[in-house]
Chain A
Amino acid sequence: MDFELSEEQSLLKDSVDRFVQDNYAPEMRAKLVETDLGFSRDHWKTMAELGWLGMPFSEDVGGFGGGAVETMIMMESMGKGLVLEPFFTTVILGGGLVAEAGSADQIEAIIPSVIEGNTMLAFAYAERQSRFNLSDVETTAEKSGDGYSLNGHKAVVYHGATADKIIVSARTSGEARDESGISLFIVDKDASGLEVQGYRTVDGQRAAEVTLDNVAGELLGEEGKAFPIIDKVVDAAIGALCAEAVGAMAEANEITNEYLKTRKQFGIPIGKFQVLQHRMVDMYMEAEQSKSMSDMVAMKLDLGYSDDTRKAVSATKAQIGKAAKFIGQQSVQLHGGMGMTDEYSIGHYFKRLSTLEMLFGNTDHHLSKFSSLS
């Protein structure tokens, strides 16, 4: 047993930390948030050049063959700076689905282009009625000629408006919420009948409503058998988001701790008030425990995928959801009025942490999943 990073892993961490330090000072991030795109294509190119976009993919398609631990390291460092580029949606989520479900041809057609930074991906899974249930799919796909024709509406698709290809889950057979009968499709951004309405989300990112009206889709993987793959890729993705949250919590705590030492009221630093000391200690403890869970889940994901892994993922999301809310809210509270401003960075940590609690199932969702697996 060993929680320490290898030399190579340390180098990876240093490299992402340096990128964040150089490019994600609060005022730099604020500028990016306000652009139409909401992130930087130059940064994306840098990430490709540094090899990050190929980290989890196998070496025979040009990747680095990294595992969940490498993903964890990168996401945690990006979380510290609230990085905006669609690394998660393109590489972890979209890339993960293609690598897991795709034929050799499909992988060859998409993954190298992702690694080079030329293709961005998004995953359209949620629907108006689905909440956090990945098998609650009403969007339909019917055979039409050589391919399939998709109809339906997908909700809050992160980075849907900038994706070159959207991976869509759709029902090819079965009843609402059946796990069997769900298939994955690759939809091109220029496909006719596809309507993508982009907008901002509370965490400074971008998402889209995606409407499919007889849209041509290319089957990804076997018809009707996509659910176990979605489940597996999403669990790995949850592990990645948890790592991002761990990074964001660590940074929020550091900023807040520093504020407690420097802000003075009643003639002394507010960090001298015992009630704030204890609050800060609670925040610290939540962050440490979250880090332990996040490390654990990354290592388990690398050992293979079983019910035990699934349980560990839900346990981690539940712990980190609770911690993210607590730390996000309290770090605003301890900043007083300063925490309520757009200009000062702490509020942005609060907003991203609240979002991370919600994405792919909130704390309650994962607690009940945990109990159903127990």
Chain B
Amino acid sequence: MDLSFSEEDLAFQAEVREFFKTRLPEDIKDRCDRGLHFTKEGQERWQKILNENGWMAPNWPVEYGGTGWTTTQKYIFAQEMGNASAPAPMPFGVSMVGPVIYTFGSQEQKDYYLPRILKSDDWWCQGYSEPGSGSDLASLQTKAVRDGDDYVVNGQKIWTSHAQYANMMFCLVRTDPNAKAQEGISFLLIDMNTPGITLKPIIGLDKEHTLNEVFFDDVRVPVKNRVGEENKGWTYAKFLLGNERTSIARVAQSKRKIAKLRQIAKNEHVNGGRLEEDRDFMRKLNQIEVDLMAIEYTELRMLSMIENGKKLSAEPSLLKIKGTEIQQRLTDLLVESLGMYGLPYEPQRDYSGSNEAPIGPEYATGPMAEHLYLKAASIYGGSNEIQRNIISKMVLGL
């Protein structure tokens, strides 16, 4: 057992830190630090900078454009990224469909799609959930019927994040209506510009447009856009869900928030003193920091298990539950730290950088927006109730 970083790791850390310090554009950093949604233009600009440096997809195998870093290096990278308030690349391409394609895709699919993800040529969205199929995803009904070299797709997806920006969707469809739920599903790559696809925006309780309904009306998708075998899509979907282990708890981002809260507590007044002298407030903050340490070292212990060739079962569910609970407690406390100035809320589409006078202190723009949006963190990606079901079944055998 050993907690220390090697000389090489420390040098690597310095390099990464310098990169974020010098290359991350100020406007992108500011939005990210405030917890506001990215802009498409900003996100693309930043992803291109990462890719120029070869750092778009650290987790991919080297042959497809990965970095070949050790687990420790990946951990350092994620920490520095959070610390610098640098946005991660859009997960739908790099973390979700990319690994599915290089693991199960055809050579043609690999050659075509993987470089386009690295270069941000394609924007991907995730077409899994349907109105009747959320937690019970395997009951999905959108169907694809074979017709010559095409599938004809009919049905509806919902909660499709950022579909309004996307030109591609990876989509679960039912290809065998007679098989058992999990066994008749296929995994398709769908061009969002195909005739018959319509989008309807869903405005969130944060008054923002990130969610969409997507309707399919006789949409023709070439059979060559199916990943892997017909009716084996559930296997790939599950692989995808379990693939992203290193950043699921978002420890680095939460650490950054704690630093921010400590800064705000120095500024905010209470009873003639500063908020940082308020014992009730600081106790809550300190409790979160301790809980965050517990999840950080749990994550590291799991990473070390993977590194040593051990197999995880449902441990990532623990990281997801505890990580999202901490994120939610932190944004809650951020709003609380602002006192009455936590309440003003004009949707962020009015936020245009620094040239608009904010209501209240400068740092009051953002926390409420993020607080509202992150209510979804315990719902998306498998709700925390579902994650608890998984642990109780897979780890505890209950």
A residues touching B (Cβ–Cβ < 8 Å)?
A: 126, 128-133, 136, 155-156, 176-177, 197, 199-203, 207, 209, 264-267, 270, 273, 275-276, 329, 332-333, 336-337, 339-343, 347-348, 350-351, 354-355, 358, 362, 364, 367-368
Contacts and interface: CB of A to CB of B under 8 A. Distances in A.
Contacts of A348: 205
B344 A156 contact: yes
Contact of B205 (A133, A176, A336, A350): A350
B58 to A, nearest CB: 30
B339 A275 contact: no
Interface of B: 129, 132-136, 139, 158-159, 202-205, 207, 211, 268-272, 280-281, 328, 335-336, 339-346, 359-361, 368, 372, 375-376, 378-380, 383-385, 388
- Secondary structure of the A contact surface, majority rule: mixed
A348 B207 CA distance: 11
B260 to A, nearest CB: 19
B343 A342 contact: no
Nearest to B375: A332
19 contacts: A128-B360, A131-B269, A136-B271, A155-B340, A156-B340, A199-B359, A200-B344, A207-B343, A265-B136, A267-B136, A270-B135, A329-B328, A337-B158, A337-B379, A341-B203, A342-B203, A342-B204, A343-B203, A364-B280
Contacts of B378: 333
Given A131-B339, A273-B385, A339 B344 contact: no
A82 to B, nearest CB: 13
Nearest to B284: A364
Given A133-B271, A337-B159, A342-B204, A203 B379 contact: no
Contact of B272 (A136, A362, A368): A136
Contacts of B361: 128
Contacts of B344: 156, 199-202, 207
Contacts of A129: 269
Nearest to A209: B359
A347 B205 contact: yes
Contacts of A265: 133-136, 139
Contact of B385 (A131, A275, A342, A362): A275
A340 B375 contact: yes
7 nearest interchain CB pairs?
A: A347-B205, A202-B345, A129-B269, A156-B340, A265-B136, A342-B203, A364-B280
A343 B343 contact: no
A151 B211 CA distance: 46
B340 A336 contact: no
A339 B376 CA distance: 9
B343 A201 contact: yes
Contact of A355 (B135, B202, B280, B343): B343
Given A128-B360, A275-B385, A342 B270 contact: no
B375 A200 contact: no
A354 B336 CA distance: 10
A275 B136 CA distance: 16
Given A202-B343, A341-B203, A351-B372, A336 B360 contact: no
A362 B336 contact: yes
A339 B379 contact: yes
Contacts of A203: 343
Given A275-B385, A341-B202, A341-B204, 12 more contacts: A129-B269, A131-B270, A132-B339, A136-B271, A264-B132, A265-B135, A329-B328, A332-B375, A333-B384, A337-B129, A337-B158, A337-B159
A336 B280 contact: no
B280 A368 contact: yes
A341 B213 CA distance: 12
Contacts of A155: 340-341, 360
A347 B135 CA distance: 20
A147 B132 CA distance: 67
